[in-house]
Copies of this chain bind each other. A is one copy, B any other.
Amino acid sequence: MHILITGAAGMIGRKLTERLIVDRALNSQPIDKLTLLDIVAPARPAGFSDHVKIRAADLAAAGVAEKAISERPETIFHLAGVVSGEAETDFDKGYRVNLDGTRALLEAIRAAGGGYKPKVVFTSSIAVFGAPFPEAIPDDFHLTPLTSYGTQKAMCELLLADYNRRGILDGVGIRLPTVCVRPGKPNKAASGFFSGIIREPLAGLEAVLPVADSVRHTHASPRAAIGFLIHAAGLTREQLGPRINLSMPGVCCTVAEQIEALARIAGPKVAARIRRQPDELVARIVSGWSERFDAQRAAALGFTAEASFDDIIRAHIEDELGGKIA
């Protein structure tokens, strides 16, 4: 099987690549080729290197999507996109990369012809939903994004479903909850603290908590997110039906419960490295976010996230810290 990953240089793209190279298979089908595409060249992964092709190009630019699918990859993980903050500050870039890039990819697949019909797994986001919310967001809640990023993701979901319906491809869109604990350095995203209050204390560093302990949110680990992608790639048209865009499950908990889990696993001394420093702007942004999903369809289709925030912390310690706490 030949797999194309767009946005392969991002955090999810890198972790998906690593996992596929370890497994050498996708849902039991042996992988014989991997094409990694991103706007900046993805790092060449260790191992499997004869079978990995690296490309740095902009999917929205003329001819790039056509070239990307010219060798007819059977499975495409379409992860490429600019993030929420950038799509909000740079209107043109957000629409060009997130909407036009996706459309270029789908159009290239349509133009390929000759019976080419790949599986396309698209990473959407819970940002397709906007406040006000019911207590738990059902699978049939309407698309009311309150950001340009969420708008672009929702538009791409619709586009993917139409190409799927017409039989041009086998599509599935998965709406990722907040991925936590994100590895790496703190970033400027308003949601960054959800990861920061776990990651930094575990690394022996102080973390700032800008919102109240009562803030509730839904999380899935990077490991769970990769699991969603791989599971999605294995679902058939028959299993999915016409509604191919799905909210993913996650662990719904308050910040207080996140901190309690950290104290349970790493001790109160580690949890004490969190400093409360209220930030009204962040609190206001976060108050517009969804808290809880009732991801019934995803559960019925076999998608699984962690069972508790303790498990999310453990996954971080295992995957990022070699099992050690500072």
Answer yes or no: A192 CB below 8 A from chain B CBs.
no
State how many copies of this chain the complex holds: 2
Complex formed: what's the CA distance from A166 to B110 in Å?
33
Q: Chain B's nearest CB lies how many Å from the CB of A141?
A: 6
Cα separation A8 to B146 with both chains bound (whole Å) = 32
Instruction: Pick the contact of A155: B130, B139, B146, B159 (CB < 8 A).
Output: B159
How many A residues face the partner with a CB closer than 8 A? 23
A230 CB to closest chain B CB (Å) equals 25
Are A161 and B166 also in contact (CB < 8 A) when A141-B142, A142-B142 are?
Answer: no
Known contacts A130-B242, A151-B158, A151-B162: A143-B146 contact under CB 8 Å:
no
Q: Verify if A210 is at the interface (C-beta below 8 Å from B).
A: no
When distances are taken between beta carbons in the complex, the residues of chain B under 8 Å from A146 are: 165, 242
Give the distance in Å from the alpha carbon of A281 to the alpha carbon of B155 in the complex.
30
Q: What residues of B have a CB within 8 angstroms of the CB of A234 in the complex? A: none
Give, as a whole number of angstroms, the nearest-CB distance from A212 to chain B. Answer: 24
Q: Which residues of B contact A159 (CB under 8 A)?
A: 151, 155
Kindly state whether residue A74 has any CB partner on chain B within 8 Å. no
Nearest-neighbor residue (CB-CB) of A103 within chain B: B95
Bound-state CA distance A91–B168 (Å) is 12
- A258 and B165 alpha carbons, distance in the complex (Å): 33
A166 to B141: give the CA distance in the assembly, Å.
Answer: 23
Q: Smallest Cβ distance from A167 to chain B, in angstroms?
A: 12
Q: Is A10 an interface residue (CB 8 A)?
A: no
Question: By the criterion CB–CB under 8 Å, are B166 and A145 in contact?
Answer: no
Contact B154 A158 (CB under 8 A): yes
Q: Is A18 an interface residue (CB 8 A)?
A: no
Q: How far is the CA of A154 from the CA of B143 in the complex (A)?
A: 9
A145 to B143, CA, bound (A): 12
Q: Decide if B142 touches A162 in the complex (CB within 8 Å).
A: no
A213 at the interface (CB under 8 A from B): no
Q: Is A318 part of the binding interface, using a Cβ–Cβ cutoff of 8 Å?
A: no
Q: Is A27 an interface residue (CB 8 A)?
A: no
Q: Give Cα distance in the complex from A91 to B146, angstroms.
A: 29
Question: Do A91 and B165 contact each other (CB < 8 Å), given the known contacts A143-B143, A242-B144?
Answer: no
For chain A residues 128-186, which have a beta carbon within 8 Å of chain B?
130, 139-146, 148, 151, 154-155, 158-159, 161-162, 165-166
- Judging by beta carbons under 8 Å apart, are B140 and A166 in contact? no
**A residues with CB within 8 A of B:** 91, 110, 130, 139-146, 148, 151, 154-155, 158-159, 161-162, 165-166, 242-243
